[in-house]
Structure 1
Amino acid sequence: MNEIHAHLTTCAAEAARVTRGVTRDRLAGPSGCPDWTVRELANHLVLYTAHGLEHRALRTELPEETVRRDFTADADWPEQYAARLDRALAAWRKPEAWEGEVDIGGSGVPATEIAAMLLAELALHGWDLARSTGQEFTVPAATGARLLDVVERYAEMYRQYEGFAEPLAAAEDADAFTRALALSGRKA
């Protein structure tokens, strides 16, 4: 199995922990992501890092009702998110999930690269949610290094789609995770 799975598992556990720390009164407040409330950020995180992660492994489309759903409307949404993350990680444990390409808007992208991009989505938006709700999001050095590699490779593409802001400077002695945050336009 690809080593990305271990990093996905680490970030999924951290994202699930963060969502459990989001109180209902915080959902309507602003997030660190421009034009998004904490609720909108949380829904984006759940949709793309749990449902999207699973559907990409299975090579199936996200149902429209899932795309439009307010996951945070359910009182137990953090537990539902954690369970969906477990399903997604189980789907990526199958060897066939790593084979071939995943169709993205009519273009085939190698499955390993899709998983790497989803790692960035999970870590960066998990960090955004943590930061927006007064929490920390931490990863081991090896996961930070892998994330930095992914962000370096895809930063310009994400900027084209307004997923990343302009890069920020990071201290010379900053760890890899902090450098990945800065490169994605996030101030640690």
Structure 2
Amino acid sequence: MHPNFDLEPAATALEAVVGAITDDQLTAPTPCTDTSVRDLLAHVIGLTEAFRQAATKEAVGRSVPPAVGPDSDLPADWRSRIPAQLKALVAAWREPSAWDGETEAGGVTAPAAVMATIALDEIVVHTWDLARAIGRQPAVDPTHLTILLEFLRDTPPEGTPGMFGPVVRVPDTAPLLDRIVGLTGRDPACGVQ
């Protein structure tokens, strides 16, 4: 199957935000409830590898739900590891075979094309989370926003347990990124920093 989209613009945006994080910002809160920048960076390390393995299908039958929270370990090499893992993730999803059949990540099995969209959602939304935590505005590819809005459009008001909190109502006239983060249970108007 031919890839539906390229993850590189989203990965590049996340890499730029990660590169701007200073050591004194690691304890800063993020829009994710009870999650610091350090905790979210540890989650990003896990998810980038999990979704790379989903693309190669090496995770099928072996994936487990991600750990997020204050007990998450952030490796000392996170500044170089995250960009390297993002590049590997992008390369893996550029392979046409990545988009074939079913695959698995985080203990969830789904058609590969759906899993790629979930990976895109994770990257874009956590880019926003981290950018918001450090007072930056992320660059997001408009095509990715259109894909994600369609993907998240039918999110139930109570959210999706294990993935998203209750939907935050955002006007239909709001920017696409605000509407997307609202659908994932985040308030685009919140001030974290």
TM-score interval w.r.t. the shorter chain? 0.7 to 0.9
How much has 1:102 moved relative to structure 2? 0.7
Higher helix share: 1
> Contact 1:57–1:92 (CA<8 Å) still a contact in 2?
yes
- 1:165 alignment partner in structure 2: 165
Tell me the SS of whatever aligns to 2:177: helix
- 2:53 alignment partner in structure 1: 55
Q: 1: CA distance between counterparts of 2:157 and 2:51?
A: 19
Q: Which deviates more, 144-153 or 97-106?
A: 97-106
Q: 1: CA distance between counterparts of 2:32 and 2:103?
A: 28
- 1:187 alignment partner in structure 2: 187
2:76 corresponds to 1:73: yes
Q: 1: CA distance between counterparts of 2:123 and 2:112?
A: 16
Q: Residues 109 and 82 of structure 1: is their aligned pair in 2 closer, same or farther, counting only changes over 3 Å?
A: same
Q: 2: CA distance between counterparts of 1:162 and 1:53?
A: 17
How much has 1:175 moved relative to structure 2? 2.5
Q: How many residues align?
A: 181
- 2:144 alignment partner in structure 1: 143
Q: 2: CA distance between counterparts of 1:39 and 1:105?
A: 20
TM-score, normalization: structure 1? 0.83
Q: 1: CA distance between counterparts of 2:102 and 2:28?
A: 39
- 1:20 alignment partner in structure 2: 19
Q: Residues 124 and 78 of structure 1: is their aligned pair in 2 closer, same or farther, counting only changes over 3 Å?
A: same
Q: Residues 105 and 133 of structure 1: is their aligned pair in 2 closer, same or farther, counting only changes over 3 Å?
A: closer
How much has 1:105 moved relative to structure 2? 7.6
Alignment of 1:45-124 (within 5 A): 45-48=44-47, 50-61=48-59, 70-74=73-77, 77-103=78-104, 108-124=109-125
How much has 1:55 moved relative to structure 2? 0.8
Instruction: Structure 1 unaligned segments of length 5 or more: list them.
Output: none
How much has 1:186 moved relative to structure 2? 1.6
Amino acid at match of 1:58: T
How much has 1:93 moved relative to structure 2? 1.3
Q: Deviations over 1:67-86 (max 9, x none)?
A: 79734423xx2332111111
Tell me the SS of whatever aligns to 2:153: helix
Tell me the SS of whatever aligns to 1:109: strand
- 2:127 alignment partner in structure 1: 126
Q: Residues 169 and 114 of structure 1: is their aligned pair in 2 closer, same or farther, counting only changes over 3 Å?
A: same
